Amino acid sequence: MSSHGGGDRLTLTPYARVRAIFTPARRDDLKAGAERHIGEIAVFEALWTIDDGPYTGDMAFRLPEAWGEIDAGWIPERDLQILEIVRAGLPSDL
């Protein structure tokens, strides 16, 4: 199960939690400290669907609390290799 690199896309809703590997598609726009987490498996929480810019259509994910040293508010879905959904989000009809 993966949303990274093309293939089948998952349908996720806000507040879903996924276990995923941080695999950024680009490295030129990483926030300070993020590079040390490349390849790490962590739990990320879905927040909203991005509606503009280079990540349009991706779900934005909250960074794991343990990554507190990174000054970033979210990670785009394309930067995660999703392994499993660990908690469902809001019903999609809300």
Whole-model pTM: value is 0.81
Residue 16 neighbours by CB distance under 10 Å: 21
Model confidence pLDDT, tens digit, residues 41-60: 999 999 999 999 999 999 99
CA–CA gap between residue 49 and residue 43 (Å, rounded): 18
Q: Please measure the distance between the N-terminal and C-terminal CA atoms of the chain and give it in whole angstroms.
A: 25
Tell me the sheet residues that pair with 45. Answer: 17, 62
Model confidence pLDDT, tens digit, residues 5-28: 444 566 788 889 999 999 998 888
CA–CA gap between residue 2 and residue 53 (Å, rounded): 22
Q: Tell me which residue of 84, 50, 43, 49 sits closest to 67, measured CA to CA.
A: 43
